[in-house]
Chain A
Amino acid sequence: MKPFELFQCCSCAEAVELLSQYKNKAKIMAGGTALLNQMRQKYITPQNIIYLKNIPELNQIIWENDTLSIGAASSIRDLERNEIIQKEFNILAQAAHKLGGYQTRNLATVGGNLCNAAPSAELAPALLTLGGNLEIVGRHGKRRVLIEEFFLGPYRTVLQDDEILTEIRIPKGEARARGTYVKLGARNSMEMAIVSIAVLFALDLEKGIFQDFRLALGGVAPTPIRIKAAEEAAKNKIPSRDLIREIGQIASAQAKPKADLRASAEYRREMVKALTGRAITQTLKESGYEVEKEASH
């Protein structure tokens, strides 16, 4: 690795100040799992590293006023093990659990996962379904963006040179909402997703219909994406095999997968179809709803 100057910041203000001073010569580091690999490969050679992990407020997970605030430097493992997340935002805990290996989850951070902006960013689909928004701090103050607006393309985000991601906020959702995160890789762990799918919905038990249906995908487009057309199609409908198939088809049509060394575009498209259905069926099952009955008429 090329030498650099390391700044271990104690506050966001300090980090922003340094960032606006060094601009594109500096890189933000929290966990460093992706960054150090890029630096070792000399894909990037920053002269200054601004280290955020020691900033106390970036390491907090707070549940208050029906909003969950996750400090951007919280480790993936903090998310995975957080009781509130497990209970209220379980799909996020599921996604956190699927990221890399145990050691990586101890080191990698939620902010790093999002800011690295890989098309298959593990936490993004879950956060997209949860309606998360992000707090960004720069020299000119704070701003907030919806997670849907955060990603611009592969490994590109809306963050300006002097901005850092400080917090991920998730509003309390429908109490009965359940979700499933499904990830496909060749091995059973230590994988980058070929396809990942997050499905989140509540069932109106009286009417037996989908309420507030959310669907997001990873690994099948330049950025993680929410499939609003599929959400619309599902809304207020009775879950049936046909509907589930239709949702899968819409998702598959909306995906813009590319071939890479893990899979072809065509296979990814097919997997979106198959696994969206699987994620919905599994979520229904966990909600105590049997699709079979509905499909029989």
Chain B
Amino acid sequence: MIQARLRINSETYDIPIEPQETLLDVLREKLGLTGTKKGCETGECGACTVLIDGKAFNSCLVLAATVQGREILTIEGIGRAEKLHPLQAAFIERGAIQCGFCTPGMIITAKSLVDEGQERSREEILESMSGNLCRCTGYIKIIEAIMSVIEKTK
């Protein structure tokens, strides 16, 4: 057991964790931050994507003990109903959400792309998003939503 200090969504959590616990399991099972989803546990679906120091990671492949002291951002930390993140608003308005299971991971990955501010073509965005699977939407409305936000931030 390790007494860990995790910074998540600008809050500090002091909790005991086991070395083998993934960040995903700590978020979901220990902290009740269930917005981050478990879709495959092999890093192939992106549903568990979180930002660590601004970079997108599959939290199912990150040991929680190794990210102490770093800034972790999950879907719960980016917007509220009264103040949606522009990506959340775009996903909602453009019908990019169906079952919604992939949505948190999608929004988080897209956020890292938007925040990076690097000039990217639509094709590059598609490539960068390809680690996030969606089975409902066919991705069309999701990419429209992401591109609309990127256009606005240009």
Residues of A within 8 A of B (CB): 1-6, 8, 29, 31-33, 36-37, 39-40, 49, 51, 53-54, 77, 100-104, 106-107, 188-190
Contact = CB atoms under 8 A, between A and B. Distances in A.
B72 to A, nearest CB: 14
Contact of B18 (A3, A8, A189): A3
B61 A189 contact: no
11 contacts: A3-B18, A4-B19, A33-B43, A37-B61, A49-B63, A103-B49, A103-B131, A104-B58, A104-B131, A188-B130, A190-B44
Nearest to B118: A81
A101 B130 contact: yes
Contact of B65 (A2, A8, A37): A8
Contact of A37 (B20, B43, B131, B132): B43
B46 A37 contact: no
B19 to A, nearest CB: 4
B131 A101 contact: yes
A29 B109 CA distance: 24
B130 A3 contact: no
Contacts of A6: 2, 19-20, 63, 65-66
Interface residues of B, number: 29
B71 interface: no
Contacts of B2: 6
B66 A53 contact: yes
Q: Give 4 closest A-B pairs by Cβ, nearest first.
A: A101-B131, A6-B19, A189-B130, A1-B20
Interface string B31-47: 00000000001111010
B131 A4 contact: no
Nearest to B2: A6
B146 to A, nearest CB: 13
Residue from B49, B63, B128, B132 having most chain A Cβ neighbours under 10 A: B63
B62 A32 contact: yes
B43 A5 contact: no
A1 B21 CA distance: 8
Contacts of A4: 19-20
B20 A2 contact: yes
Contacts of B139: none
Contacts of A54: 66
B127 interface: yes
B119 to A, nearest CB: 13
Residue from B18, B42, B61, B127 having most chain A Cβ neighbours under 10 A: B61
A36 B109 CA distance: 21
Contact of B109 (A5, A39, A103, A190): A103
Contacts of A53: 66
A218 to B, nearest CB: 20
A51 B56 CA distance: 20
Interface string B54-86: 011110111101100000000000000000000
